[in-house]
Chain A
């Protein structure tokens, strides 16, 4: 099997994370995968930007 690109490996790991599945182990993991997954994991709680702006407007109208 040809080696997957780092971007494809990363996306497979992110997809598994987002649907709460254990990712299949990469046969030839890129070093970037281990470096970037903690950042990807931390983004799961990223707030909606329109929520932030809506709440700000709401507070301004009080």
Chain B
């Protein structure tokens, strides 16, 4: 299977991204395009640091609401739009860390939060890797996509998934295996 171009979507560079930002500044309804480009990056950036799905979702929501609310004040200086989103996300993480420390000083959540998010180039490459992988999941054959989502997002057992899809457990394991082979091959830019 040839890598699908849509799944390889990466942030447009320079002038193209500037145009998207300008369009959204003129018409907030066009913020959608920026959201679609950056959702997975922001989500992974946060999820990998808070280690809790509900908190990651709350913070992702906070980041995009703040970005939309402050878009008019954003000034293009040549840096990728994602850098601005990551700064908002970093601030949201620090605030979350402080809240968690105050409210649950001895909880796991407070201990697991990363107070000083890493914005180095290697860290952001890891973010891009995961964002690309997450987008590729949606381009798997429908049944493989469902197996991956049920297994990794809903954390259902193979038996539960087999019951829900009216298939054998062996068939679900094969679908999971093939899905991961496809994803790995596509991440390497090869063929599944």
Contact = CB atoms under 8 A, between A and B. Distances in A.
Contacts of A18: 151-152, 155
A40 B57 CA distance: 21
Contacts of B32: 56, 59-60
Interface residues of A, number: 30
A52 B133 CA distance: 15
State the majority secondary structure of interface residues on A.
helix
B44 interface: yes
A29 to B, nearest CB: 14
B60 to A, nearest CB: 7
A14 B57 contact: no
Interface in B12-64: 28-29, 31-32, 35-36, 39-40, 43-44, 47-48, 53, 56-57, 60-61, 64
| Interface band, chain B | 35 or more
B180 A40 contact: yes
B98 interface: no
Q: Which of A40, A47, A51 has the most CB of B within 10 A?
A: A47
A16 interface: no
A24 interface: no
19 contacts: A8-B173, A10-B176, A11-B176, A36-B177, A39-B133, A42-B129, A43-B148, A43-B152, A45-B47, A45-B130, A46-B152, A47-B57, A48-B57, A48-B153, A51-B57, A55-B61, A56-B36, A60-B32, A62-B68
